[in-house]
Structure 1
Amino acid sequence: MLALSASGAQAQQGAVFDVLDSRGALLGWEGVGRLDLGGGFCSGALISPDTVLTAAHCVYETDTGTPRDSGRMVFRAGYHRGQQIAARRVLRWVVPDRYAALMAARGRATSAEAVASDVALLRLDSPLSSAEADAFRIHVAADPGTSLSVASYGRGREEVLSRQRDCALTREYQDGILGFDCDVTFGSSGAPVFVRENGRLRILSVVSSITGSGEAYGPSLPALVSGLSARLSREGSRPPVSAGARRITVGSDRSGMTARFVTP
């Protein structure tokens, strides 16, 4: 990826964001895009020419907890003020079985178990070329204190990609849940959490949830992404709608860690 220069900065709750408010500033970030859901949006990133990584809760209806129709989803790579480098429709999506089971059984996704599996892969209707956008690789692991950055489309900055370049991995919890002090907001769901390795950006996690204290959480990715990639290759349709799905409600998990999801 190319080194980037960003024009302008935006402060939100004390954090400073690079606002990539020109085509030149977007060089190297084309693989991050806005995922329009047919009602709300999330952030996502390419991990292969035809595969987008985002959060699992993005592909479920916020009000009912039922699976969203993939046919209404559009990934807009490098989206900027009504235009994008490329737009692709979503053919199908997959989430971990344990996440789907939680949604089917409870109609909610606010437990630590949900955060640990809050990953979705989306198959696009056609691949993006390397001239349009480069895909990002998954990072295997990082130690607490590792410097991170997050690139997302958030509430109040829906039309331009913003990057918080200075946050850190704070802790790794049980079940592979990662805690980081990056400042995220509504719409940041599914945004890639980057670490820099040998001068290149790699995706360490995706934004899943936040707490009232401001700490954000996301899942460890390697095993989840590997399994979902294999499923996505062999499955021809998205998971079936479950008649047992119910309305998503905000709750708390063990040890008082409130999982307030950054909903679309």
Structure 2
Amino acid sequence: MFRFILVFLLLLPAVAAAQARNTALDGLEGENEALVWQAVGRLDADNVGFCTATLIAPELVLTAAHCVYSSRTGELLKAEDLTFRAGLRNGATAAERKIAQIEAHPGYSPRGGVNQDNIRHDVALLRLATPIPTHELNPFVLYQGRFTKGPVSVVSYGRGRAELPSRQAVCRMFEQYQGVVLMDCDVTFGSSGAPVFSHKNGRGQIISVISSVGHYDGKKTSFGMVLPKLVADLKQQMRANAQNPLAGARRIRINNGSSRNTSSGGAKFVRPGGS
């Protein structure tokens, strides 16, 4: 039986101490190393905070669905209030764009809390107001191969490292259950939406996106989802809603699945000030 318990990461001192002990989590200080990951950026929401997001096409950015909803009201944020800051390092960006269209997967319920069904659908696709040409930034592609357990890496922004991306070069994807992926990667507030990379075929390919953090089998665990079908759904949804803007106001309600022993929590937006 698959059992996991999710908890909020609320205690800053405890989080900071855990990061200090994890020598595998490295800030991308070096310019050459940072260049490799510039298509990963910070997604800023005016007066809300930020998540991590990734360029997957010149005009498309991938992040977690809960990053595009207000944590207070559960309402979808306004596209014009979101900004993607690609490759942000110490105030400088490789590219910066406003968001023109938001599409969250209809299987995600913003008022449903953190449960198994929400985690497996916690994906959003954003269309940039102006595309970023491939000669400026090379988008990352989705991993299309068969799921296998093993090493992955994560690039993210987070509390205490809001101005500099960090990379955990090696963490482990150790289980997949009904579309939910379990990893031992070190994530915190702001890491929501961060890309999880497989390195089996040369340049990193996105195998999942960070949704939530909690405990599984007594160990701190980060949770993601299997992406290809979800992203295909979102692309189709984006095309349909771009042709008919009124369709964007409709939300499809899907009942939560058979989640077991689950309580609410997760890696949410983090305010730049760390609150």
TM category, shorter: 0.7 to 0.9
Corresponding residue of 1:161: 165
Matches within 5 A, 1:150-229: 150-174=154-178, 176-212=179-215, 213-229=219-235
TM-score (norm 2): 0.81
Corresponding residue of 1:231: 237
| 2:123 maps to 1:96 | no
AA aligned opposite 1:178:
V
| 2:148 maps to 1:139 | no
The alignment-based identity, stated in percent, is: 37
Corresponding residue of 1:71: 80
Corresponding residue of 1:23: 31
19-28 or 153-162, which deviates more: 19-28
TM-score (norm 1): 0.85
119-128 or 206-215, which deviates more: 206-215
AA aligned opposite 1:55:
A
Instruction: Compute the displacement of 1:95 (Å).
Output: 1.4
User: Structure 2: which 5+ residue stretches go unaligned?
Assistant: 1-17, 270-275
- Give the superposed CA RMSD: 2.1
Q: Is the 8 A contact 2:99 2:126 kept in 1?
A: yes
Distance 1:216 1:259 in 2: 14
37-46 or 20-29, which deviates more: 20-29
Corresponding residue of 2:266: 261
Q: SS where residue 249 of structure 2 aligns?
A: coil
Q: Is the 8 A contact 1:30 1:132 kept in 2?
A: no
Q: Is the 8 A contact 1:28 1:134 kept in 2?
A: no
Quickly say closer, same or farther: Cα 1:11–1:210, change in 2 above 3 A.
closer
Distance 2:149 2:23 in 1: 17
AA aligned opposite 1:200:
R
Quickly say closer, same or farther: Cα 1:18–1:172, change in 2 above 3 A.
same
Quickly say closer, same or farther: Cα 1:223–1:143, change in 2 above 3 A.
closer
User: Structure 1: which 5+ residue stretches go unaligned?
Assistant: 1-9, 245-252
Q: Is the 8 A contact 2:41 2:85 kept in 1?
A: yes
Distance 1:217 1:141 in 2: 19
Quickly say closer, same or farther: Cα 1:144–1:40, change in 2 above 3 A.
same
Instruction: Compute the displacement of 1:11 (Å).
Output: 4.3
Corresponding residue of 2:123: 119
Q: Is the 8 A contact 2:241 2:248 kept in 1?
A: no
Distance 1:207 1:147 in 2: 15
Quickly say closer, same or farther: Cα 1:162–1:83, change in 2 above 3 A.
same
